[in-house]
Amino acid sequence: MRNHSMILLFPLILNGAGFWAAAQERAAAPHPASIAAAGPNSSATAKSGSTQSETTVRLEGEKRFKANCARCHAAPHKFPPRMMGTIIRHMRVRSTITDEDVRLILHYMSQ
């Protein structure tokens, strides 16, 4: 019975942590992730006003890339964006990379 309770307790704790994280994410703005979420081509339309943000996002993406990918293996060279999209989805599952890290790394690797 204790095992069953633990199984149920785990997702409840997880969900609580998830909602807390979501609330924090909403509260923390502006954030590089929000810029990255707009896609790699967003900087072209935003013109010079977003140049600084674009640089920030790129640097943040590079930082996350080194922190996450190098945790297990030597950092690979860049791949074409469509390949990178698949690879990062694979690594998201394999290495439980956060959604935000996925977005920033994909943005950085797609430059």
Partner 1 sequence: MPKQRLHVVRHVLPGCRSANAHGSNRTCRKFSAACCVGFISSVFMLAPTRLRAQSSGDDSQRPVPILSAGAGFITTFDSGDAHLGPLVAPVLLIPIGERWLIESRATFESDLSRPSGSGGFRGKLRKEVDYLQLDFIANPYVTLTVGRFLTPFGIFNERLYPIWIRNLQTDPLVLPIGVGPSNASTGAMARGGFRIHPKINLNYALYFSALSTVHVLDSDRSAGGRLGIYLPGPRLEFGGSFQHLLQSERSNSFGFHFVWQPPAVPVDLRGEYARSARGSGYWVESAYRLNEVPLMRSALRHMQVVARAQQFFASALPSDSLPAANTRQVELGANYYIRDDLRLVSSYGRQFTAGANANIWTIGLTYRFVAPLAGRDKSGGVD
Give the footprint of partner 1 on this chain (CB under 8 A).
3-4, 7-8, 10-12, 14-15, 17-22, 24-25, 28, 37-41, 64, 67, 70-77, 79-83, 85-90, 92-103, 106, 110
Q: Which is nearer to partner 1, 47 or 71 (CB)?
A: 71
Task: Say how far apart CA 57 and CA 111 lie, in whole Å.
Answer: 11
Q: Which is nearer to partner 1, 59 or 67 (CB)?
A: 67
Q: Which is nearer to partner 1, 16 or 51 (CB)?
A: 16
Task: Say if residue 81 is preceded by a cis peptide, omega within 30 of 0.
Answer: no
Residue with tokens 């599952």: 93
Q: Which is nearer to partner 1, 28 or 55 (CB)?
A: 28
Shortest Cβ 32–partner 1 spacing (Å): 12
Instruction: Give backbone dihedrals phi and psi of 109, rounded to 5 degrees, phi first.
Output: -75, -15
Cβ 54 vs Cβ 101: under 8 Å: no
Shortest Cβ 13–partner 1 spacing (Å): 10
Task: Say how far apart CA 54 and CA 73 lie, in whole Å.
Answer: 27
